[in-house]
Amino acid sequence: MTLPVIVLPSADLDIAAAIRHYNKHRLGYGELFRLELDRTIGIIARWPEAYEQVTPRLRRAVLHRFQHAVIYRPFPACIRVVGVIPTRRDPAIFPGLDTP
């Protein structure tokens, strides 16, 4: 079963910043980043427990070919993407989202 995915506004800002960053370094890389992000979110929607658990309630899916990770919280009825961050950043920057 594929769950609906909700991308929080803060994660949308992260995505826009990452696309700008990759396009700045090489034209078209932002679009490749977006395609890889969409592919990863599709996997998360189908198998939310497949990726690394970084806190009791948050998981991290590292993108292939890009040094970014999707930080998300699985719920029984949906997935909430709380951030799309560089892999060098600590996922613990989302402490308030780790409460019920």
Here the CATH number for the domain that contains residue 78 is: 3.30.2310.20
pLDDT of residue 91: 58
Query: For the chain, what is the domain count?
Result: 1
**Contact indicator for 48, 15 with CB cutoff of 8 Å:** no
Residue 93 lies in a domain: no
Residue 92 lies in a domain: no
On the question of pLDDT at 68 being above 50, the answer is yes
Residue 29 lies in a domain: yes
pLDDT of residue 84: 95
- Whole-Å CA distances, 80 to 17, 29, 48, 95: 19, 25, 10, 15
Residues in the chain: 100
Residue 100 lies in a domain: no
Residue 24 lies in a domain: yes
**Contact indicator for 94, 82 with CB cutoff of 8 Å:** yes
- In terms of DSSP bridges, do strands 79-86 and 5-7 run parallel, antiparallel, or are they unpaired? parallel
Domain range for 80 is 5-87
Share of the chain above pLDDT 90, in %: 75
pLDDT digits (tens, 9 = 90+) for 9-46: 999 999 999 999 999 988 899 999 999 999 999 999 99
